[in-house]
Amino acid sequence: MPQRTFSIIKPDAVRNGYTGAILAEIEKAGFQIISIRKQSISKAQAEGFYYVHKERPFFDSLTTFMSSGPLVLMVLEKDNAIADLRALMGATNPANAEEGTIRKKFAGSIQENAIHGSDGAETAAFEIGYWFAGYELI
């Protein structure tokens, strides 16, 4: 059954000119792009998005990074989308990412790691609703 997930091409990857290459990987893996928007976000918007990490030592640094330049917000759909996107992304730290994954190919550090993908169904629902209105998801 088709499932939706939420993804971000992070500011490092946009800055490095990898937007098109990452979109190509996503489409090659069978995802439909339901909605997509390039924009910059504020520090407060980044803090709201990552509120589950607010106690982590890297919260300030992460939210500063995420608001440091344009990024690409996306809602993606395919069978098993949430787990399949996580597999396509690779490990959080690109040093540990498997060959062929997006983070192995395009990420530079544990923080500036090219792509975000929802880690579960509840998270996906929150994240899609945080960035997209219902009328954008038809």
Q: Which residues bind ligand GDP (CB under 6 A)?
A: 58, 61-62, 92, 110-111, 113, 116, 119
Nearer CB in complex with ligand GDP: 19/111: 111
Query: Which of the following is catalytic: 116, 118, 124, 132?
Result: 116
CA–CA separation, 103 and 86 (whole Å): 10
Q: Let me know: does 74 contact 36? Beta carbons within 8 Å.
A: yes
Residue 70 in contact with residue 17, Cβ under 8 Å?
Answer: no
Nearer to ligand GDP, 4 or 116 (CB): 116
CB of 138 to ligand GDP, least distance (A): 28
CB of 20 to ligand GDP, least distance (A): 21
- In the bound complex, what is the minimum distance in angstroms from residue 86's beta carbon to ligand GDP? 8
d(CA 62, CA 83): 23
Active site residue 116: yes
Strand 2-9 relative to strand 32-39, pairing = unpaired
Instruction: Please state, in angstroms and rounded to a whole number, the distance separating the CA atoms of residues 96 and 134.
Output: 37
Catalytic residues: 116
